[in-house]
């Protein structure tokens, strides 16, 4: 059983209200079993929403309160990102899930690449960093 970024299984929860569905991936994960989560929606952000980026760091820095998350209108959304990551983690723990497949290149779900200062950098998204801190194995679906 996996936690999976909801946009990867066809849920239109991305900032632009689109999804990243992949029929081959969907067939595979349906056999494994999954719970879809969108940490940005669970944190209370709307869909569609203004894209956001971590400032001067990655998800670990946001968890450590060294960095903030700011959207492209200049509004801080750190608290929504943290709340959504915590609520998504709560679901994983409730179901005893120890593995996650997440969407690369997201300030929440990015596994190897995330957005810092509106640029793609090597680093973790906020949700990914929280899962790693909690001992959950995270892999990327590109
Ligand atoms: S990458 Fe994560 S936060 Fe972004 S839309 Fe997909 S599930 Fe939601």
pLDDT digits (tens, 9 = 90+) for 9-45: 999 999 999 999 899 999 999 999 999 999 999 999 9
Distance CA(5)–CA(85), nearest Å, equals 12
48-63 core/surface letters (b: 16 or more CB in 10 A; e: else): ebeebbbbebbbbbbb
Among 77, 89, 106, say which to mutate for ligand 1: greatest number of ligand atoms within 8 Å of CB: 106
Q: Which atom number of ligand 1 is nearest to the Cα of residue 37?
A: 7
Q: Write the residue with the smallest CA distance to atom 4 of ligand 1.
A: 14
Q: Does the pLDDT at position 142 exceed 80?
A: no
Percentages helix, strand, coil for the chain (3-state, rounded to 5) are 35, 25, 45
Q: Does the beta carbon of 82 lie inside 6 Å of ligand 1?
A: no
pLDDT computed for residue 21 by the predictor: 84
Q: Which atom of ligand 1 is nearest to the CA of 20?
A: 6
Q: pLDDT tens digits, residue range 44-96?
A: 999 999 999 999 999 999 999 999 999 999 999 999 999 999 999 999 999 99
- CA-13 nearest atom, ligand 1: 5
Q: What is the pTM of this model?
A: 0.97
In this prediction, residues 112-138 reach a mean pLDDT of 97
Task: Give the H/E segment covering residue 52.
Answer: strand 52-54
Average pLDDT over residues 102-111: 97
């Amino acid at each position: 059983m996996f936690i999976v970024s909801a946009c990867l299984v066809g849920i239109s929860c991305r900032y632009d209200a689109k999804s990243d569905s992949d029929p081959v991936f969907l067939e595979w994960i349906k056999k494994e079993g999954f719970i879809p989560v969108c940490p940005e929606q669970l944190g209370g952000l709307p869909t569609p929403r203004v894209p956001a980026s971590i400032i001067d760091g990655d998800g670990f820095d946001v968890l450590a309160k060294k960095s903030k998350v700011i959207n492209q209108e200049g509004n801080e959304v750190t608290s929504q990102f943290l709340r959504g990551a915590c609520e998504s983690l709560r679901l994983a723990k409730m179901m005893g899930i120890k593995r996650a497949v997440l969407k690369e290149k997201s300030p929440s779900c990015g596994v190897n690449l995330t957005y810092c200062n509106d640029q793609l950098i090597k680093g973790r998204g906020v949700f990914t960093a929280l899962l790693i801190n909690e001992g959950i194995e995270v892999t990327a679906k590109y």
